[in-house]
Amino acid sequence: MKKIIFNRPVISVLALYVFILILLNSLGIFLPEKNSFLINNTNKYTTELTGKVITEPIQKNDKQQFVLEVFDVDGQKIKKEKTLVYASTVYNIEYGDIVFVSGKLNIPEKPVFPYIFDYNLYLQRENIYTIFYQQNFELIEKQPNKIKQISLKVKNNIENKIDNFFNSSVSSVLKSMITGNKSSLDKDIKEDFINTGLIHILVISGLHIGFCAAIFMFCFKLLGLKLNYVYLLTIHALFFYVLLTGANPPAIRAAIMFSCLLIALMLNREPLIYNALALSALIILIFNPQSMFTASFQLSFLATFGLLYLYPKFSMCFGKIKNKFLGSIWNIICITLSAQIALIPLLVFYFGKISIVSFILNLIIVPIIPVIISLFFVFYISTFVSYYVSLSVSLLLSYLLKFILYVINYSASLDYSVVFFAVPGIVMILFYYFSIYVMFEIKNKKVLALLFVLVCCMLLNPFEKRTFTKTFEGKKNITTHIKERGNKNIIIFKEIQKDKYYFNNLEQYLLAQGIFKIDELYINCEDKDIQAKLNKVQVDIILNSTYKSNF
């Protein structure tokens, strides 16, 4: 392990760069106030912007949403800055358009409770600090990047053909798996994938890039090309596919890693897989340093590192298995186990829960994914050749996808398929990974056993027992959480205006701290269905009165 870190310059440079980014983040260098000019215009009723549409507009209810790269504000030239625009659907807006818009700039709302998904912070990590609500619109000219424009046209063609041959529930899942478009994905279906630990198959990542690389190489070999040309064309095809799917960090990471491996093969050198992983991380962080603080980046790289580091150790537990079928099953188990062990702390940190059925479902579902991707390539090519062939292949794909949806929906509906945990602290997470290192690098079995027990105790550690009073003030409500002696939890809720997400957010906040019961809930509204809305947290007493302290 020491050789991996210190004897490879790329890894050393990455480690230093990561340390610098953490330091800069702690010093507040990435705060909106220090990076955004547009944020100073949010107090104006109307602001005029001129910029370039750099993403494909997507439908959001009665609006279309896109990212605008602004270079002019109220006639003043500025350093290019991104804003998220919500515009009327009456305008035909496309990627690459240079547009003039007027409207209202806003700062995205922050969540009232801690441990809730912070959309404001999510946008900040994408270097977007404001949201713009369009009132007037004018198209100036079109200046699209030709390669990206072509990739978007291919993507739209793929999605149109998916919509034509598949019903809505199946097509939304297939579009997520092939093009990374989740805009039409049903909320309940997405939640089922999350709760069963299979959301990764809907994210374009190493799983998809690896299968696509194999398919591209197979197709290029059929053309009778020399092996080096096959590798070179595969690299270009992979990056075109990454661009087509939105160029998210997991896809870029996988494409860079596969490219490094193929270049090594072209040069007749031994592939250095850890170097490839470090190089891909370094390239992504150079172009967007804030990616390092996103869940997507962290989960993607930790899962890959877990596979690289843990898989060889698990796979050799029983030596070389001669039976090919049993060997394949054992390989899938080792791959799944390696990724799961690497991701457990971060999954609890970001989502506050772990799927109990995830391990088994990954063994069942993941082997089907290469079949689906391969069949989709056949389906898409056949749409240009024969309607009946494409129809036949689409029926087979539909059956496979319906099987996956059935298994996931059934598993997600099982009692205790998901276990909730208190969100661990950074120290606890670091201790977990240090313990894994010790378990495999230090041979003292007693030390290993002690560390394992300590890790389990830390992960299962209940919410702190001290007393406190916390108040959370939002635009629509004010909530006070009082923790008294004897681990008694009291919630005082004052409603200012209706908020349909309130009880869901309250529940997430409580579960993230390991609280599964509210002893007393004081409310100032007539809502008789509160217990149903808090379906994972028990409420003992609901009172329409004022709380009186025992102290």
What is the pLDDT, as a whole number, of residue 37?
92
Q: Are residues 340 and 202 in the same domain?
A: yes
pLDDT band at 2 (very low <50, low <70, confident <90, very high): low
pLDDT tens for residues 426-477?
Answer: 888 888 888 788 777 776 666 666 766 666 665 555 444 567 788 888 877 8
- Does residue 7 lie in a domain region? no
Higher pLDDT, 273 or 164: 164
Q: Are residues 309 and 377 in the same domain?
A: yes
- Does residue 435 lie in a domain region? yes
CATH no. for residue 97? Answer: 2.40.50.140
pLDDT band at 397 (very low <50, low <70, confident <90, very high): very high
- Does residue 156 lie in a domain region? yes
- Does residue 81 lie in a domain region? yes
Question: Where is 285: in which H helix or E strand?
Answer: helix 273-287
Domain, as residue range, for 162: 150-420
- Does residue 24 lie in a domain region? no
Q: Are residues 70 and 114 in the same domain?
A: yes
Boundary residue ending a domain (127, 144, 161): 144
- Does residue 4 lie in a domain region? no
Q: Are residues 84 and 217 in the same domain?
A: no
Q: Are residues 367 and 448 in the same domain?
A: no
Q: How many domains, the chain? A: 4
Give mean pLDDT, residues 328-338. Answer: 83
Least confident window among 70-79, 289-298, 505-514: 505-514
What is the pLDDT, as a whole number, of residue 334?
85
- Does residue 85 lie in a domain region? yes
Give mean pLDDT, residues 160-167. Answer: 92
Inter-residue long-range contacts of 485-490, CB under 8 Å, 24+ positions, other chains counted: 488/519, 488/520, 489/515, 489/517, 489/518, 489/519, 490/518, 490/519, 490/520, 490/521, 490/522, 490/547
d(CA 34, CA 39): 10
Give mean pLDDT, residues 78-101. Answer: 93
What is the pLDDT, as a whole number, of residue 68?
96
Q: Are residues 293 and 404 in the same domain?
A: yes
- pTM for this prediction: 0.84
What is the pLDDT, as a whole number, of residue 548?
58
Percentage of the chain surpassing pLDDT 90?
A: 28
Q: Are residues 176 and 230 in the same domain?
A: yes
Least confident window among 192-196, 253-257, 416-420, 543-547: 543-547
Higher pLDDT, 67 or 448: 67
pLDDT > 70? residue 287:
yes
pLDDT > 80? residue 112:
yes
Q: Are residues 398 and 436 in the same domain?
A: no
Q: Are residues 301 and 431 in the same domain?
A: no
Q: How many CB atoms lie within 10 A of CB 179?
A: 19
Give mean pLDDT, residues 155-179. Answer: 90
- Does residue 16 lie in a domain region? no
Beta pairing, strands 97-106 & 47-53: antiparallel
pLDDT band at 260 (very low <50, low <70, confident <90, very high): confident
Q: Are residues 272 and 390 in the same domain?
A: yes
Q: Are residues 275 and 367 in the same domain?
A: yes
Percentage of the chain surpassing pLDDT 70?
A: 91
Q: Are residues 167 and 127 in the same domain?
A: no
